[in-house]
Amino acid sequence: MSFDDIPLWVAILVAACVLTGAILTFAGAVGLARMPSFYQRIHAPTLGTSFGALGVLAASAILSSVGEGRFVAHEVLIFIFVSVTTPVTLMLLARAALHRDRVEGSSEVPAAIEKPIDQ
């Protein structure tokens, strides 16, 4: 497969997808660096794992499908796996951070409820 065989509109579509994905991932990384507290920072990288990964992986799938002349969509595997596992990891990480803050007695996080209200 060489790039000269690709039609022009496919090239423009692939370029738009890959650039959108890369720029959204960069925006998520900048949010990770600039947000003031950890609980705000944990939201930023999801931009890269959802729409950034969607853009780059869709561009790769389109390019390899057109280049080989048949439907190639291995990238769907990566996207499904990343979009399923990222909420799990970030929830575990947020709970771990909350636990650490509570153990330290930080005044910025709400205290744990000793006895649940509805029981």
Partner 1 sequence: MSAAILFWSITLAQVVLAAAMLVTIYRLIVGPRAQDRVLSLDSMYVVAMLLLVTFGMRVGTVIYFEVALLIGLLGFVGTVALAKFLMRGEVIE
- State yes or no: residue 113 binds partner 1 (CB under 8 A): no
Query: In terms of CB distance, is 104 or 114 closer to partner 1?
Result: 104
- Closest separation in Å from C-beta 114 to partner 1: 19
- Closest separation in Å from C-beta 80 to partner 1: 10
Query: In terms of CB distance, is 31 or 117 closer to partner 1?
Result: 31
Number of residues that bind partner 1 (CB under 8 A): 58
Residue 55: which of 77, 28, 90, 79 has the closest Cα? 79
Read off the DSSP letter of residue 113: P
Residue 14: which of 53, 55, 52 has the closest Cα? 55
- State yes or no: residue 109 binds partner 1 (CB under 8 A): no
Site for partner 1 in 40-79 (CB under 8 A): 41-42, 44-45, 48-49, 52-53, 56-57, 59-60, 63-64, 67, 74-75, 77-78
Q: Which residue has the tokens 């771990």?
A: 96
8 A C-beta contact, residue 78 and residue 47: no
- Distance between CA 75 and CA 66 in Å, rounded? 14
